[in-house]
Structure 1
Amino acid sequence: MLNIKYSFLVPVYNVDKYLEKCLESIIIQRQFSSSCEVILVDDGSTDYSGEMCDRYAAKYPNIFVFHQDNSGLLQARATGVKNASGEYYIFVDSDDFIENNFLDVIDHYISDGHPDVLVCGYFLCGRCNKKRCIVTDFEAESISKESMLEKFAGTDKYNRVWGKVVKGNFLKEHIDEIYDCAVNIGEDKLQTAYIIKYASDFLLINECLYNYILRDDSIVHYKSEKDIRDAIYIYSKVRGIVQKICDDQKYSSSEANELLLSYDSNALNTVMEHLFKYNKRDISLSEKKVALSGILEDNKNFFVSNKKEIKLKFINKLRYRLYINKKLVMLHMVDRMLFRFKKMVYR
C-alpha cells in the first residue's frame, strides 16, 4: 500500500469485549482504504483479543498485527511506532472508539495547516452519561510550543496521547529516548512531554471526535503501591523534560520557576489523589501503612523538598500534612470518609 498518510496505532491487551467496536469505528472512516493503515499490537493478551486481531488482519490488507509478550502499554506503543509507515500517527486505545467523521475533520485541518500535532476534543463516556470535553474555546486554535507547555504543566487535561494526531518522523527519530522504560501508569504524560519537546507547532480543535470509555475495572478507579511509585517516577522524569524545554526555549529564571511551580503543584495534587485511590482498596490498614511509609521514605525529595509554595487543592492540603507527618491512620480515616461521601454524592 502506497502513500499512507495516517497510521492508527492501537495497543491491545485483554479487550475482547471492546475491540470490535474500536476497530469498526476506524474501518468505517471514509479514507480508510485509500490512505490509512492500522497497526495492532497484541501485548500478550490472555483472552480472545489476539485472535480477533488476526481475523481483522486477514480480512483487511491495511491492518497489521504484531504479537509480543506482555510488556505494558508504553512498550506496546513503541512497537506500533516502530512498525508504522504513515506521515501522521493517530493513537487509539483499544477499549475506546472514534466518531464516524473523525478522519474527515482531522484531514481537513491537517491538509490546511500541516501542524506537527493536532489535538481534538473528546467525549468522556460513563455507564449512563456522556460528557463533552473541549480543548479550546475556538473552532481551531494554532498555538506555539511555549503555550502548549504551559497548558501541559498546569493540568492533566492535555496529558493524553489517545486522540492525538502526531507527525511520525520525530517519534521514530527519538524512539529509544521516548520509550526507554516500562511503566503501567503515567505513560501518556511521558510521551506527551516528549511530543512537546520535539514538535514545533500545535493545533487544537474544538470538535469532539474521540470517545474515551470509563470502564468499571479501569485502573483510574483504584491504585496499587506500584502505580503510585510509577507515577512519582514519571512525574520526576517529566519534570526534567519540562526543565530542558525551558532551557532550550531560553526561558528566564523567573519564567521557568513559575512554570515548574505550576507543574509541581499539579504533580503533587495528582499523586495525593492516587494515595486516596490506594486507601480506597479493600486491604488491611497495616498493609497500607507499610506501603505508604515506604513510598514516603523512598521519595522524600518529591514529597518534601521545595514544597512551601506548592498550591494544593483544599482537601489535599490537609491530607498532605497528615501524610508527610506520617499520620497514616488519620489519613486513612479521612480518605475512607471521603470515599463514602463521594459514593453518596454520585450514587
Structure 2
Amino acid sequence: MYSKQLVSIVVPVYNAEKYISKCVNSILNQSYQDLELILVNDGSTDQSGEICKKFAQEDSRIRVVHQANAGPSAARNLGIGMATGEYLQFADSDDFIESDMTERLVKSMENHNDLVICGYKKILKRENQIISSKVFRIEQAGEYELEEFLQNFSELYQDYYIHFNWNKLYRTQILKEAALSFDTKVNWGEDLLFNLQYIEKCRKICISQDTPYYYIDSNSSSITSQFRSDLFENMQMMQGTTREFLRRNQAYTGKNKELFEQFYTSRIVTCFWNLFNPKSGLTPQHIRSQLKKIMQDERVTGSLDFFHSGNMDKKLIGTFIKRKWVDMLYLYFSVKRFIRQITVHKEKKWV
C-alpha cells in the first residue's frame, strides 16, 4: 500500500466562469483525498474569482490567491511557491480529470520515481458542441532510469507527451531545490521548456498507459487556425532548446535524432503554412520575403536530409529549399491553400 502524501494541485484561472466549477469538482471528488487545491485567479474580469472564493469557503483544502493579470506562467509559478505537498500536479481551468487520476499518479510515483507521465483524452468542442474526441495513450509504459528514458525521448516527444504540464506528477522538492519556474517571457511552449529543465533533475521516470486527463480544445486559437507573426522564431527557440537538451545529455543519436528531426521539419512546414493563413494580412511580396527568410536559415538548411527522408510533400518542399526556389514554394502553398479552401467549402455545403 502506498503511503499517504499530500498532493498540491495548481490551477491557473482566467475568465473561466463557464467551466471552472467542473474542473474544481473533478479535483475535489478525487479518490485520493490528501490534497490541497491552489486556485490562482489571474486577474479575471468575469465571475471566476467569486466562484473560486465560494469553493474555498466550502472546502478547507482549497487556497485561493488573486493576482493582476500576468499570464498562466506567472500563475503557475505563484502556485509552485505556495505548494506544501510532497507532489505537485497541474490542471487547466477548462479541463477536468477522472476521479482516480491523482491516486493513480501517486501510486506510479511511489517506486522511487521522480516524474510520472501519462496519456490523456482530447475533446474538440466548437460553440459548445463536441466535434471529435481522441484518446492519446502512451505505448512505452514502464519505469526508466534517466539515461534509458532519454534514449527513447523522441518517441514521446513526437506525440506531444513531453510538451504539457497537466499529464504529469512532479516532486515539489526537486522543483524548489532547483528553483525551477515557467518562463514568463515565453507565451507559447513554456511548458516544454519547464519540463526539459525538470527531466534533467530526475533519476527515474515512470510512463503510464493511463489516460485520466480530459483536455478540452474549445477555441480556434491553435497554431493551424490563427496567424502568428512570431511562429517561426518561437519554433526555432523551442526546437533548438530541445535539440541542445538532447546533445547535452548524449541522446542526440540514432533513432532519437531521426525522430526529432522529422518532427522539426514538420514544424517548419507548419511555419510555411502559417504565412498563408487568411488572417495574416500579408501581401504576396511579404509572404515571399518570409519564405526566403525561412529557406535561408542555416538550421533549416542543415536539416535538409530529413526533408528528403519524409513523405512526398516534404521531399518536394526540401527540394525547393535546397534549390532556393522561393517562387516555386510560394506557388506550391498557394495551390494547396486553394484546394483546401474548396474542400472546406464543399464540406460546409453538405453539412
The yes-or-no answer on 1:182 pairing with 2:185 is yes
Name the structure where helix makes up a greater proportion of residues: 1
1:259 maps to 2:256:
yes
1:338 and 1:157, CA in 2 relative to 1: closer, same or farther beyond 3 A?
farther
**Residue 239 of structure 2: which of 235, 249, 267 is its match?**
235
> 1 CA distance for matches of 2:73 and 2:243?
18
Task: Describe how 1:1-347 pairs up with structure 2 within 5 A.
Answer: 5-32=6-33, 35-111=34-110, 113-126=111-124, 127-136=130-139, 141-154=142-155, 155-158=158-161, 159-176=163-180, 178-220=181-223, 221-246=225-250, 256=253, 259-277=256-274, 279-286=276-283, 290=286, 293-294=289-290, 297=293, 300-309=297-306, 311-319=309-317, 321-322=319-320, 325-327=325-327, 329-337=330-338, 339-340=340-341, 343=344
Partner Cα separation in structure 2 for residue 43 and residue 267 of structure 1: 33
Letter in 1 for 2:118: C
Local SS of the residue matching 2:200: helix
2: CA distance between counterparts of 1:120 and 1:161? 11
- Secondary structure of the residue that 1:272 maps to in structure 2? helix
Distance in 1 (CA, whole Å) between partners of 2:288 and 2:44 is 31
Q: Identity over the aligned pairs, expressed in percent? A: 26
CA offset at residue 157 of structure 1? Answer: 2.8
Query: 1:153/1:109 Cα in 2 relative to 1: closer, same or farther (>3 Å)?
Result: closer
Q: 1:270 to 1:131 in 2, by over 3 A?
A: same
CA distance in 2, matches of 1:271, 1:45: 35
Distance 1:215 1:135 in 2: 24
Distance 1:345 1:312 in 2: 29
Report the CA distance shift for 1:150/1:53 in structure 2 as closer, same or farther (over 3 A).
farther
1:27 Cα offset (Å): 0.8
Per-residue CA deviation, residues 191-225 of structure 1 (Å, 9 max, x unaligned), is 22122211111112222211111223343543411
Matches of 1:196 and 1:130 in 2, distance apart? 29
Matched residue SS, 2:249: helix
- Report how far residue 181 of structure 1 moved: 4.8
- Listed one character per residue, the Cα deviations across residues 121-176 of structure 1 (whole Å, up to 9, x for unaligned) are 21121224332221126xx5112323432443341432222121111222222235
Partners of 2:288 and 2:330 within 8 A in 1: no
Aligned to 2:127: none
Which has the higher Rg, Structure 1 or Structure 2?
Answer: 2
Letter of the aligned partner of 1:63 in structure 2?
I
**Normalised by the size of structure 1, how large is the TM-score?**
0.82
**Secondary structure, counterpart of 1:55 in structure 2:** helix
SS in 2 for 1:333: helix
Report Cα offsets for 1:201-255 as digits up to 9, x if no partner.
Answer: 1112222211111223343543411244223222212322222222xxxx6xxx6
- Greater displacement, 49-58 / 6-15: 49-58
Matches of 1:296 and 1:83, distance apart in 2? 47
Structure 1 unaligned spans of 5+: none
- Structure 1 range deviating more: 184-193 or 43-52: 43-52
Q: Classify 1:301/1:9 alpha carbon distance in 2 versus 1 (closer, same or farther; 3 Å).
A: farther
